[in-house]
Chains A and B, each alone.
Chain A
Amino acid sequence: AQTVTQSQPEMSVQEAETVTLSCTYDTSESDYYLFWYKQPPSRQMILVIRQEAYKQQNATENRFSVNFQKAAKSFSLKISDSQLGDAAMYFCAYRRYVGTASKLTFGTGTRLQVTL
């Protein structure tokens, strides 16, 4: 079974600084998707960024980028120029790449605080 581990329950970053959230996963599959979701206090799950395992290039979405290390099964999220609105729970998630849609497996989350 696939597992996703987020070892940082809480992180704090000053506004305009950069922070990196860690995620590791365990799988025997060679093709899969990885995601970072943001959950603000409103509870809405918002997709931040996604990565296909067969792509070597790290995904980037504006201030958000990932460091995908397939051999190490590591998928960290870097937030640059942090803003107050980035404060939220961040969840790393894994999904198999198969012919039929399949479930997401989530980590336990990292709570990010952004300070002035």
Chain B
Amino acid sequence: NAGVMQNPRHLVRRRGQEARLRCSPMKGHSHVYWYRQLPEEGLKFMVYLQKENIIDESGMPKERFSAEFPKEGPSILRIQQVVRGDSAAYFCASSQDLQGMGAYTFGSGTRLTVV
């Protein structure tokens, strides 16, 4: 049973380009969360999605950032017109149910470097 799969592992983009980060949740998980980790900091919540719905995007910057979790396929975090400050590790996590012990399973992250 594969865990949460994120790709690419590393992504380099020039300023102004678009970055697309993919996350395939664990089999059977329908809840996906995206977090961002700046160097030497903890993870900061960005967005929570269920299939085809954004449930909570309170941590998502209002501009340039968007996320989706289509009926088929992985969840995508999209960053348009990247800037140096977007350089960070982006983690995806998934969970199965609405509550329970709710300990998410994390992917290995995508390290985005903007040059």
Binding-face segment, B19-27, B40-48, B70-78 = B40-48
Judging by beta carbons under 8 Å apart, are A103 and B42 in contact? no
Inter-subunit contact B43/A106 (CB<8 Å) = yes
**Total A-B residue contacts, Cβ distance less than 8 Å:** 64
Q: What is the size, in residues, of chain A's interface with B at 8 Å between Cβ atoms?
A: 27
Q: Does B1 contact A (CB under 8 A)?
A: no
A106 to B42, CA, bound (A): 6
A100 touching B99, Cβ below 8 Å: yes
B99 & A99 in contact (Cβ 8 Å cutoff): yes
B43 contacts A45, C-beta separation under 8 Å: yes
> Inside 8 A of B109's CB, which chain A residues have their CB?
43-45
Complex interface: chain B residues within 8 A of A35 (CB): 103
In contact, B108 and A101 (Cβ under 8 angstroms):
no
Q: Are B102 and A33 in contact (CB under 8 A)?
A: yes
Q: Please, how many angstroms separate the alpha-carbon atoms of A47 and B106 in the complex?
A: 9
Q: Does B101 contact A (CB under 8 A)?
A: yes
Q: B108 to A42, Cβ gap below 8 A?
A: yes
In the complex, residue of chain B having the shortest beta-carbon distance to the beta carbon of A37 = B106
Write the residues of chain B forming the contact surface with A, with a CB cutoff of 8 angstroms.
31, 33, 35, 41-45, 48, 55-56, 59, 89, 91, 93, 95, 97-99, 101-104, 106, 108-109, 111
A-B contacts, 10 of them at CB < 8 A, read: A33-B103, A45-B106, A45-B109, A91-B42, A99-B98, A99-B99, A102-B48, A104-B35, A104-B93, A106-B43
A100-B99, A108-B41 provided; 18 other pairs, C-beta below 8 A?
Answer: A43-B109, A44-B106, A44-B108, A44-B109, A45-B106, A52-B101, A91-B42, A98-B99, A101-B31, A101-B97, A101-B102, A102-B56, A102-B102, A103-B33, A104-B45, A104-B104, A108-B42, A109-B41
